[in-house]
Structure 1
Amino acid sequence: MVHDLIIRNGTVIDGTGKPGFKADVAINGERITTVGDASEAAYQTIDATGKLVTPGFIDTHTHMDAQFMWDPLGTPTCWHGITTLVLGSCGVSFAPVKQSDHMVLAKVLESVEGIPAESIMSSLRWNWETFGEYYDALDACPKGVNVCGMIGHAATRYHAMGEESLKRDRNPTPDEIKTMQAAIDEAMEAGALGFSTSRTLTHKTSEGIPIPGTFAHLDELVALAQAIGRHNKGIFQWAPGFGEYENYPTTEYPETRKEIHRIAEVNRQSGCPVIFSAFTHEAVPTIQTLYLGWLDEERANGAQARPMVSSRVNTVMVGLCNWMPIRDASAWRALYSLPYPERLSAIQDEKTRVQLLDIPSESDERLGKMLYRFGPMECEYVRKPENLLCNIAQENDERPIETIVRLFCETGGRQLFAFATNNHNLAHVEEVVRYRDTLLGLGDAGAHVNAICDASLSTHALTYWHDERQLFSLEETIRRLTSDGAEAFGIPERGLLKPGYYADVNVIDADNLRMEIPEFVYDLPVGAGRWTQRAQGYDYTLVNGKVVVENDNHTGRLVGKLIRI
């Protein structure tokens, strides 16, 4: 037998968590046929001597629902070994939708996830109303990675209730519940992974109103989960508002306790597993200890629920290329009104630099305590005191704003600065990461694109939590990035190197694996900008048996599939 492709002599980390072993991986068509000794001939051979051979990684929390309509490669996830993406997170999806409501959903995604509505409206054909029809449209798009998705609460509720869905005290009528359940039934029959909801107050419309579903009562959530559960498949993804509804000051967080119970009850009354986002925050330093303890109590009473965590500081990056958190100085507003190349020229002018330094002292102090130097040479996500702006300024006997301007000039505009929105303290993050059954996710690829780029979560997990911190073995880290997510979300025949499974595979040069400095590019439709980030060390990434990344560069092959369950 002649195989289509054989990856020879690599160290196979198969995704099960078992110790790695030397083996060949043979592929025919889209499937793995052998993991072991493949002595037969092959049309194509990859020499993986000294390299890791792993399943393709699965990113279980993204917002790339619209991006594939204009970016078939699925950047930047494709550069980090990701071969399968989950769409429709946080209650936000593009279906169901009435023809009159296209801009409503575009504005929701813009305000919640920072993707310009103009980019969305200029690129989507909107040739759908139901989720199944959206899935068909997504299926027809060329893709470099595999995608699957959930139907979102915001779209489902707005489709059933219109603007009434935005009112905090407006509960759906029985008929409106039936309409939402019918939409979920249609989505599940079309192959959706499940349903997602958002209950965080940070997810708002462009008018500043929390998105539909934020204040849904337990009976509504249970009714929608039961619509999933009766299909005997599917999950309920939940973005909670831990700590947001409390009456401060408090150290007991009773509203968070209620939210954990609500999560558990939705599962117990529907049979639908719940996966919830688990963030930490320096303002509530004990909350993760409490909610994990309460989760233990609910699990002991039969609840099937798991946390998902972003395993690093959630990092907002600012610089000359995108924006700076300086809103009270006209010189800065004028600078950012210019196209980026002209900003580079402007800061070379002495008069302009003097004007940029003229900001209120309280703003100067705030910047010094808020911002950390990021790059421009090394990609370092751990916040270190020597990189805090006020410390750099003090060391150089200058004001923080002078440090910013000086570093912009010295680096030709390449110097970046960063601040955290959550997960400030890595000890708190580690507490959640160590919790049994925590999923590594929340890279938020495709979201907040002018501020963050956490889509490199897979590369970060390997280089930081495994290599630098040695918190997990290599095998356990790979398991968490592959089969763990596939099993939790019910994604079939992915996440393992196993005969019969789809040939989504990485060949990794672990000794040289690293993240590159994020880059701000203006490649969104209508010229909008976003952060993207490449990596080094991914010698090969295969999707459905074909090489899509070779030596860290995309081959242009668009062999990804829409996965229906």
Structure 2
Amino acid sequence: MTTVFGGNCGFSIAPLSGKPEDATYLMRMLSRVEGMPLESLEAGVPWSWTSFADYLAEVERGVAVNAGFLVGHSALRRAVMGDRAIGYTASEDEITAMCDLLDASLQSGGLGFSTTLSATHSDAEGQPVPSRHSSDTELMALAAVVRKHEGTWLEMVSDTGTSFKLENVERMTQMSLAAERSLNWNVLSPNSRYREIYNNQLAASDYAAGRGAKVIALVAPQAIGLVLTFEAGMVIDAMNGWGPVMALPVPERIAKLSDPEIRKELSHSAHQASGPIGDLADWSSWTIVETEREENKALEGQTVGALASRLNKAPLDAMLDLAIEEDLKTRFMPNLSGADHESWQMRGAAWRDDRAIIGASDAGAHLNMIDTFAFSTQVLQQGVRERRLLELEEAVHRMTDLPARAFGLRDRGRLAEGYYADIVVFDPDTIACGPLHTRNDLPAGAGRLYCDAIGVHHVLVNGQLIVTEGHSTGALPGTVLRSGRDTRTVPIASPLASAA
């Protein structure tokens, strides 16, 4: 891809208050909830700004692709409320201050406002992230600020992995109306086992449209594979009863997870849930992806069930014993559903649905656990060539021109005279994802999941070659996209497919 949008899900690293403890809080929060290595955030991010304008100027010093950023609710709340951002309802004066800060951030080029209400989003202390403590009054006031700025939109995470509660559908609708902008929610993950959830979530767009608003789903490009560790704790802490244990410092967490009685309680609690989160409790089906110790390398690729059978242990005991032996760093992958033929058919239908946009890469976040960063390659390989869910031309249109029109990007998203030359040259007969593996190339030597892009020959951004035959040229021709200058307002009454 040649253009990216950051700051989604309520998480941006600007604005800052200027107090060192606020930057520290955001670093630790992002490390926990977004799977960003703390050592990389400390070593690789200067944290030298306070305003959103200063942050954009820092990014503009050198970027290979075009990049635009939403203003995250949790950063706004922390900058204005400090420690009160957790556990407190904002006062009228604090809401006004947040609105003023958002207004200044959008004036300097922020592309819109993002927030999260998801129960899966907790900070480094295991507390709900700041935005989850907001009132509807606060949300609507912030959404209304967006209306004042050209070329902006809203983004949020609502009920993750479940049917939307009517109150949250109404909340999304009212935010769209307050902003007079579309609201893009993350993430629709088609799964034949949970067709009712899928239909309920997509119906949020119909509910909003019937009231004059626009709600758009961001649909995942594949069955999402999660690589989890008991050290990071993300997703594991969403299981019933696991949150308090996973919020403990690692030594205390190991002590708790070593206790047979606590293991029984945790296993019982996890089995009480239904839906995708409840599926995690099928311990036997988890795969051992990567081990930390050399003597355990032979276990890679095996299921926890196979290991448990060989050791004559209960599956959860076998998994936790291995994890504890490796200081909780062992990487596991639960066997989540969604890779079956019916789920792929649902996914293809969602890609073509005007209530949804293909995306949800999470590139830059969940670096050690989610493989959706290769979403465009997955669509072209599996969706087009292997499963024939889309014709090539339609797939390219729905990943380039359609989102550019939906979010109001000026002169990007298609090959046309007068447009910027943002071009990916690929071979449709060979494009594919290479094997998933860990690369330790982040600041401070931290690792990330990675796979090579097969069949992608050249990438040009603004007419300059940045990648050729899998190798970076070192060129940094990207632009920091700013609202108004690089985007135009898309009226919420306009159809998604033809927004211009």
TM-score, normalised via structure 1 length: 0.66
Match of 2:159 among 218, 241, 248: 241
Equivalences for 1:392-411 in 2 at 5 Å?
Answer: none
Aligned to 1:370: 286
Aligned to 1:83: 2
Say whether 1:110 aligns with 2:20: no
Quote the offset at 1:146 in angstroms. 1.3
Say whether 1:524 aligns with 2:442: yes
Match of 1:150 among 48, 61, 70: 70
Instruction: Please identify, of 202-211 and 287-296, the stretch whose mean Cα deviation from structure 2 is larger.
Output: 287-296
Aligned to 1:269: 178
**2 CA distance for matches of 1:393 and 1:124?**
41
Aligned to 1:227: 145
**2 CA distance for matches of 1:388 and 1:261?**
45
**2 CA distance for matches of 1:541 and 1:371?**
35
**1 CA distance for matches of 2:228 and 2:6?**
26
Aligned to 1:477: 395
CA contact (8 A) 1:256 1:291 kept: no
Change (3 A) 1:422 1:148: farther
Match of 1:307 among 192, 213, 217: 217
Quote the offset at 1:297 in angstroms. 2.8
Quote the offset at 1:434 in angstroms. 4.2
Aligned to 2:117: 199
Change (3 A) 1:91 1:296: same
Change (3 A) 1:179 1:524: same
Match of 2:425 among 491, 503, 507: 507
Change (3 A) 1:393 1:212: closer
Classify the secondary structure of the residue corresponding to 1:316. Answer: coil
**1 CA distance for matches of 2:158 and 2:423?**
33
Looking at secondary structure, tell me which structure has more strand per residue: 1
CA RMSD in angstroms, aligned pairs only:
3.4
**2 CA distance for matches of 1:388 and 1:484?**
41
Classify the secondary structure of the residue corresponding to 1:230. Answer: coil
Deviations 1:67-92 (A, max 9, x none): xxxxxxxxxxxxxxx11111101101
**1 CA distance for matches of 2:347 and 2:86?**
33
Say whether 1:159 aligns with 2:76: no
**1 CA distance for matches of 2:7 and 2:204?**
27
Say whether 1:546 aligns with 2:467: no
Match of 1:295 among 164, 181, 205: 205
Deviations 1:152-189 (A, max 9, x none): 0000011111121211xx32222111111111111111
Classify the secondary structure of the residue corresponding to 2:119. Answer: coil
CA contact (8 A) 2:368 2:448 kept: yes
Quote the offset at 1:419 in angstroms. 2.7
**1 CA distance for matches of 2:351 and 2:138?**
31
Say whether 1:418 aligns with 2:333: yes
Classify the secondary structure of the residue corresponding to 2:114. Answer: strand
Moved over 6 A (4+): 360-363, 390-401
Change (3 A) 1:181 1:373: closer
CA contact (8 A) 2:80 2:97 kept: yes
The one-letter code sitting in structure 2 at the alignment partner of 1:295 is: S
Say whether 1:179 aligns with 2:124: no
Aligned to 1:259: 168
**1 CA distance for matches of 2:314 and 2:433?**
28
Quote the offset at 1:489 in angstroms. 2.4
CA contact (8 A) 1:313 1:420 kept: no
The one-letter code sitting in structure 1 at the alignment partner of 2:286 is: M
**1 CA distance for matches of 2:85 and 2:311?**
55
Classify the secondary structure of the residue corresponding to 1:286. Answer: helix
Deviations 1:517-547 (A, max 9, x none): 1221112222221112211111111111111
CA contact (8 A) 1:368 1:388 kept: no
The one-letter code sitting in structure 2 at the alignment partner of 1:96 is: P
**2 CA distance for matches of 1:540 and 1:432?**
29
Classify the secondary structure of the residue corresponding to 2:71. Answer: strand
5+ residue gaps in structure 2?
237-249, 251-262, 268-280, 291-300, 320-330, 484-500
Looking at secondary structure, tell me which structure has more helix per residue: 2
TM-score, normalised via structure 2 length: 0.74
The one-letter code sitting in structure 2 at the alignment partner of 1:164 is: R
The one-letter code sitting in structure 2 at the alignment partner of 1:85 is: V
**1 CA distance for matches of 2:56 and 2:159?**
29
CA contact (8 A) 2:70 2:111 kept: yes
Aligned to 2:260: none
Deviations 1:93-125 (A, max 9, x none): 111112221101111111111112232122222
CA contact (8 A) 2:227 2:369 kept: yes
Change (3 A) 1:452 1:513: same
Quote the offset at 1:233 in angstroms. 2.6
Classify the secondary structure of the residue corresponding to 1:159. Answer: helix
5+ residue gaps in structure 1?
1-81, 245-252, 327-336, 338-359, 375-386, 405-415
Change (3 A) 1:395 1:148: same
Aligned to 2:243: none
**2 CA distance for matches of 1:307 and 1:520?**
30
**1 CA distance for matches of 2:339 and 2:429?**
28
Quote the offset at 1:282 in angstroms. 7.8
Change (3 A) 1:396 1:201: closer
Aligned to 1:555: 473
CA contact (8 A) 1:86 1:148 kept: yes
CA contact (8 A) 1:195 1:236 kept: yes
Say whether 1:491 aligns with 2:409: yes
**2 CA distance for matches of 1:521 and 1:236?**
34
Equivalences for 1:208-223 in 2 at 5 Å?
Answer: 208-223=126-141
Larger Rg computed on CA atoms: 1
Change (3 A) 1:519 1:160: same
Number of corresponding residues: 413
